[in-house]
Amino acid sequence: METAAWARYLSRSWLCRRAWPGCSRHYRAVLCSELKQPLAIEEVAPRPVGPHEVRVDVHFSGVNFADILVCRGQYQERPRLPFIPGMEFSGIVLETGRDVHSVKEGDRVIGLRRLNCMAGECIIDHKALWQIPEGISLREAAVLPASYSTAILALEHRAGTQPGETVLVTAAAGATGLAVIDVATNVLQAKVIAAAGSEEKCKLAMQKGAQFSVNYSQGSLKEALGKLVGSRGVDVAIDTVGGDVFLEALRSLAWEGRIVVVGFAGGTIASVSANLLLLKNISAMGIFGIRYQGQNFPVFSRALSSAIQYCLEGRIHPYIGAVFKLEEVNDAFLHVINRTSTGKVLLSLK
């Protein structure tokens, strides 16, 4: 999705609507019918729920960089066109299948799936839903499924972060970066160094709990880290940028340090020389959070359930940087593409 193409689309300000014959009730949904092109809003006819499925009235849907990659055809998984993007949502249960007993009509829930969340309604397997306790708003809860489950899986399950360890997080002012800061400082009692691409973003990361910050647009990340931690290095690095930032973070690890790859927002996938792992007995690993739903559901469920509990207890504080209306989805994507976003960006469907 080139910025110029999106700008041309926004200047035209059109909405595409499609009604399915024979259906009296429709809901609005974002539709990707062509890769690397602006998205349209269409009227979609609902389908019946299956025995194990739940129909949810979606109130908020998260806008993640992964959603943009999917619509560009650059994600790890490529759905068939056309499709409704969106990986996470919060909303209220409208209807349940005959074999569903875990939730009921009127329950407030959050969900995470690969597609179909940027819509007025979402049909989802009941196992992919988590109830929202009283005391957490639908808006706040919408931040938890992707960003906080990823942060917890990366810090706890993959890196095994311990109290007092030093954690480096790149793209620190993004949704996942701020979630990592939140969990690392307020739950795991670790010390966080936030790395971001502007002074404004570094300042926000510090306000959200980081002890130190590095603006890597101003020079070498490795040199800046050396001034902060000396030759010892950092214990854990959580990287969502990739490329040179990843390599500098890798070279800044302490003895038996761990680096967790979350994504490649910088657009470049780095290659790791095995000798870098050998010399300091360091570990490089990945976290593709949504895959845990299929490969190891108990681990994923514990992570997201923990995020809900931490939020209920007031131990974490999800940060929402911007909220767009559904029909402003292209503006929301541009907000993320242009790297002007901080924290979680949401679409409001109500």
Mean pLDDT on 135-145:
97
- Supply the CATH number for residue 188's domain: 3.40.50.720
- Asked whether the predicted pLDDT for residue 114 surpasses 90, the reply is no
Average pLDDT over residues 49-75: 94
**Cβ burial, residue 195 (10 Å; 0-12/13-18/19+):** buried
pTM: 0.90
In whole angstroms, what is the distance from residue 237 CA to residue 192 CA?
Answer: 10
Q: How confident is the model over 44-56, as pLDDT tens digits?
A: 999 999 999 999 9
pLDDT in tens, 170-198: 999 999 999 999 999 999 999 999 999 99
d(CA 36, CA 165): 41
* pLDDT higher than threshold 50 for residue 70: yes
d(CA 151, CA 177): 8
Number of domains observed in the structure of the chain: 2
**What does the pLDDT read at residue 339?**
87
Same domain? For 171 and 209 the reply is: yes
pLDDT at 77: 78
Is residue 195 domain-resident? yes
What is the Cα–Cα distance from 346 to 140, expressed in whole angstroms? 10
Asked if 225 and 266 sit in the same domain, the reply is yes
106 falls within a domain: yes
Per the DSSP assignment, residues forming a β-bridge with 90 are 60, 110
CATH classification at residue 84: 3.90.180.10
Q: Which two tokens stand for residue 176?
A: 């996942």
134 in the same domain as 162:
no
Nearest of 152, 247, 143 to residue 190 by alpha carbon: 152
What does the pLDDT read at residue 270?
84
Query: Residue 15: pLDDT above 90?
Result: no
85 and 73 both lie in a single domain: yes
Q: What is the mean pLDDT of the segment spanning 73-89?
A: 91
Residue-range definition of the domain harbouring residue 252: 146-289
Mean per-residue pLDDT, 95-101: 96
* Inside any domain, residue 7: yes
Under the banding of pLDDT at 50, 70 and 90, the label for residue 20 is very low
Residues 185 and 228 in one domain: yes
Between CA 200 and CA 207 the distance in angstroms is 11
Choose one of 273, 289, 305: the last residue of a domain.
289
Q: Are residues 49 and 18 in the same domain?
A: yes
Considering the domain boundaries, does residue 258 fall inside one? yes
DSSP of 307-331 = HHHHHHTTS----EEEEEEGGGHHH
Q: Please state, rounded to an integer, the average pLDDT across all residues of the chain.
A: 91
Task: Give a yes or no: residue 92 inside a domain.
Answer: yes
pLDDT band with cut points at 50, 70 and 90 for residue 294: confident
Of 289, 304, 329, which closes a domain?
289
Indicate if the pLDDT at residue 319 is higher than 70: yes
- Interval 121-137: pLDDT, tens: 999 999 999 999 999 99
pLDDT at 228: 95
For the stretch 195-244, pLDDT in tens is 999 999 999 999 999 999 999 999 999 999 999 998 899 999 999 999 99
Query: Does residue 17 carry a pLDDT above 50?
Result: no
pLDDT band at 271 (very low <50, low <70, confident <90, very high): confident
Q: Is the peptide bond before 46 cis (omega within 30 degrees of 0)?
A: no
H-run or E-run covering 234? strand 234-239
The helix or strand, by DSSP H or E, that contains position 56, with its residue range, turns out to be: strand 53-63
Q: Do residues 264 and 330 share a domain?
A: no
- The pLDDT of 48-65, averaged and rounded, is 96
Residue (of 349, 265, 264) closest to 84 by Cα position: 349
Secondary structure letter of residue 296 according to DSSP = -
| Domain-located, residue 314 | no
Query: Number of helices (H) and strands (E), helices first, in the chain?
Result: 12, 15
312 inside domain: no
E-only strand ranges, 223-303: 234-239, 253-261, 283-286
Residue 273 is predicted with a pLDDT of 87
Which percentage of the chain shows pLDDT scores above 90?
82
Q: Is 97 helix (H, G, I), strand (E, B) or coil?
A: coil
